[in-house]
Structure 1
Amino acid sequence: MKKKQTLTKKELGTVESVLLDFNHNRLPRLLDMKKQVDEGATLDTYDLQFLSDCIEHSRGSEHFAELHPEFKRIVAQVAHLYHHITNAALNNANKDAH
């Protein structure tokens, strides 16, 4: 069993910065995208690039959450949101193709 590590001041500052950026810049756009795909829309090139950038930006989160389990839930929720958006958009695109 891994010992839970305490956040250093630097890590705490990084976490705060990442969460603020996510809450103010990425999450609102992701929720708009979710609403659009839930209503049957597909994603355009700009949407796909934004989603790709978000996923790439979050790649280190899983490792960080392993070291700091208190962040596992939020990392899992964000991953689920990405998965939902991409699956719904793909389903919508497949419907449009037929």
Structure 2
Amino acid sequence: MKKPSAKIRQEIALLQDQLRQAETREAERIGRLALKAGIGDIAIDETELLRAFEELAARFRPDRNGSAEAKPAGSSAANGSLPLPSGAIKNSAGEA
């Protein structure tokens, strides 16, 4: 027996609410971690910060074979660091 459209709409509304709640939990988790890491104290354009987050996500996103993507030996992701935003100053230890 097929479901009536009203029942399908009700299920969609429930799923949309669950999605909003899941996204809120994820955003709060990432936000807490970013603040712990000191991201809140950095003066950076949102576009640059988004790009850095995308690079970080790509570093940990599995490839099609189910394993983490291998980065070339010279890439910043391979040596465990992320590229610094433009205008960042390195200290003598090579840290920003």
> TM-score, with normalisation over the residues of structure 2?
0.33
Choose between structure 1 and 2: higher helix proportion.
1
Structure with more relative contact order (C-alpha pairs < 8 Å, separation 6 or more):
1
